Amino acid sequence: MHQVINSPLTLGQFLNRVRKSKKLTQHETGQTFKLDQTTISSIEQGAKGTRIDTIFRLLAALDLEMIIQEKGNQQKRIDW
C-alpha cells in the first residue's frame, strides 16, 4: 500500500483508512503503544504540530513504516 503524504491532513486520512481496514478502534490502536484515543483522533483529523515520535508510535501500532523519497520520483529507490 502506497500513499503520497504531503500534509498533516493527508497523513491523518491515510492512517484513518488503514486503522479502519484493520477493524481497530482508536482506543484499541493506542493501547499497545500508550497513545490516547484523543491523540489518535487529533492526528487522523490532520492536527499540525504532532511530535514525530508520536507519529512513529502510531505507525508501529498500525504495522506501517515510513519511506521518504524525492518528490515525483515513484520508481527510484535509494537503499543506504
* 10-38: pLDDT as tens digits: 999 999 999 999 999 999 999 989 999 99
pTM for this structure?
0.84
Please tell me the predicted confidence (pLDDT) of residue 71.
82
Three-class SS of residue 8? helix
Domains of the chain: 8-61 (1.10.260.40)
Task: Give CB contacts under 8 A, 24+ apart, made by 23-28.
Answer: 24/62
